[in-house]
Structures are given as structure tokens and as C-alpha cells.
Amino acid sequence: MHSSALYEQFAERGLRRTPQRLAVWRAFAEKPGRTIRQVAGDLAEEGIGQATVYRAVRALEGAGLLLGYASPRGEVRYVAVLGHAHVLVCRRCGEVTSLQECQIEDYERRLQSKTGYQISGHTLAIYGICPRCLQEEGL
Ligand SMILES: [Zn+2]
Ligand SMILES: [Zn+2]
């Protein structure tokens, strides 16, 4: 899945590309919105230990390749990011919707010229209550 684009992102961010990090990123890309513990459970079968998964998530999140967001139950869930990602999260049921539309590129350009940063991407989680939950609760 997007291998060359993904490899470029690792290189651009100066992040060493290890099989474990790739496996963790792909696990979240395949099923977005899972917790570290769920992914660690799956990857244990591939011989990747839980501590390794936690370290990989920290590295990937720091490099902007994973986006963590708070689920209604207070646990942190993640989606894989390639360049940029935006998700809409329901605070009641935890449903996650990926948003394709990007309104931030202009802002990035302005920020780049203002701060002198070379900006390489962004992640954004927007929280609210989904229409189904609104209806169920008569809100
Ligand atoms: Zn909902
Ligand atoms: Zn964007």
C-alpha cells in the first residue's frame, strides 16, 4: 500500500525505516481507529512484541505518520497518515470519518513563509457528535 510514497515520507522526516515500523503503520492503515493494544495483539502473531509496537507508535506519531485522537472512552486511537490526514471523530460512539478535503494547504504556505519552517504535513482531528448519535439521543 503506497509503498514508495510511504518510503519517501520516512526519508523526508529522517525516520529510520524498520520492518517493525512499517508493519505498525500498515496495521493502522488497514484498520483505522484502533488502539495500540489492539494492533499489538495482531502483531504479536508476527513476532513483534508490545514494547516494540509502543516505541514504533511513538516514533511514527512524532514524525507525523500516525495521528492519535481521544476516543469517547478516553483511550487513544490512531489512524495512519501519509502527508496529511484529517479525521472527524464522534465523541459519543467513537466513529471516525476520514476527510479528503483539505483547507489547510494555503495556511501551511503562509506559515512556512512567516516562520521559515520547511513544513512537511499536518494532522487534524475534529471532534463532534455524529448525526446518528444526535438522533438517538434526541438532541
Ligand atoms: Zn456517534
Ligand atoms: Zn490537509
Beta-ladder partners of 67 = 79
Q: Is the pLDDT of residue 2 over 60?
A: no
The closest of 50, 47, 26 to 36, measured between CA atoms, is 50
Give the number of the ligand closest to the Cα of residue 71.
1
**For 97-105, what is the mean pLDDT?**
85
Amino acid (1-letter code) at residue 30: E
Q: How far is the CA of 78 from the centre of ligand 2 (A)?
A: 17
Give the number of the ligand closest to the Cα of residue 64.
2
Take residue 12 and report the three cell numbers written for it.
523526508
State what percent of residues in the chain have pLDDT above 90: 49
Residue 17's pLDDT band (boundaries 50, 70, 90)? very high
List the domain range (segments joined by +) for residue 116: 3-136
Q: What is the CATH number of the domain that holds 16?
A: 1.10.10.10
Cα separation of 4 and 138, whole Å? 47
Q: Is the pLDDT of residue 95 over 80?
A: yes
Q: Is the pLDDT of residue 26 over 60?
A: yes
Within 10 angstroms of residue 36's Cβ, the number of other Cβ atoms is 22
Q: How far is the CA of 26 from the centre of ligand 2 (A)?
A: 20
The closest of 77, 52, 60, 62 to 127, measured between CA atoms, is 77
Beta-ladder partners of 125 = 87
Q: How far is the CA of 88 from the centre of ligand 1 (A)?
A: 10
Structural domain total, the chain? 1
Residue 115: helix, strand or coil by DSSP?
helix
Cα separation of 58 and 81, whole Å? 14
